């Protein structure tokens, strides 16, 4: 456990997902990170992860890997809810954000239920 926690703290970009319907972490949820390429405005996928039993995953950007720009976290929420025997109003959730200071550590959590989601800039 201690090793996992120190690894998470060293990451440039981290996320965690909480199932607000149950109050428990959302385990086994697929997450993808992409960066908007200029010019042409195409998304380039940088990382794929699955959340662990604590609703967290390995950092999506390692220290020194971030660049200034527009990024997108894609969460496969329908697949997650189907696994629990629920239908979901949202087939997936995409959170688009801008990194202005690549040296900063960013944490972008997602709170989900079958009919709503919330995200915020965490610390």
Q: Please answer whether residues 66 and 12 qualify as being in contact, where contact means their C-beta atoms are separated by less than 8 angstroms.
A: yes
Each residue's pLDDT tens digit, 69-123: 999 999 999 999 999 999 999 999 999 999 998 888 899 999 999 999 999 999 8
**Residue 16 annotated as lining a ligand binding site:** yes
- Which top CATH class is 13-119? mainly beta
On the question of pLDDT at 24 being above 70, the answer is yes
Q: Which of 1-5, 32-36, 73-77, 97-101 has the lowest mean pLDDT?
A: 1-5
Q: Which residue has the tokens 């996928």?
A: 45
Specify the DSSP element, H or E, that contains 76.
none
Q: What's this model's pTM, rounded to 2 decimal places?
A: 0.88
Q: What is the mean pLDDT of residues 12-16?
A: 94
Give the pLDDT of residue 11.
Answer: 55
Q: Which of 31, 29, 20, 101 is nearest to 59 (CA)?
A: 31
Tokens matching residue 3 = 């090793």
Q: Where are the domains of the chain?
A: 13-119
């Amino acid at each position: 456990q201690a090793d996992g926690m120190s690894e998470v703290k060293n990451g440039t970009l981290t996320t965690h997902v909480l199932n607000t319907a149950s109050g428990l972490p959302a385990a086994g949820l697929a997450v993808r990170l992409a960066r908007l390429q200029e010019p042409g405005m195409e998304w380039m996928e940088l990382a794929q992860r699955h959340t662990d039993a604590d609703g967290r995953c390995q950092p999506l950007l390692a220290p020194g890997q971030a660049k200034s720009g527009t990024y997108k976290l894609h969460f496969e929420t329908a697949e997650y809810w189907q696994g629990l025997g629920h239908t979901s109003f949202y087939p997936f959730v995409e959170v688009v954000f801008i990194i202005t200071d690549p040296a900063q550590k960013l944490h972008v959590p997602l709170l989900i239920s079958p009919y709503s989601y919330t995200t915020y800039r965490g610390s």
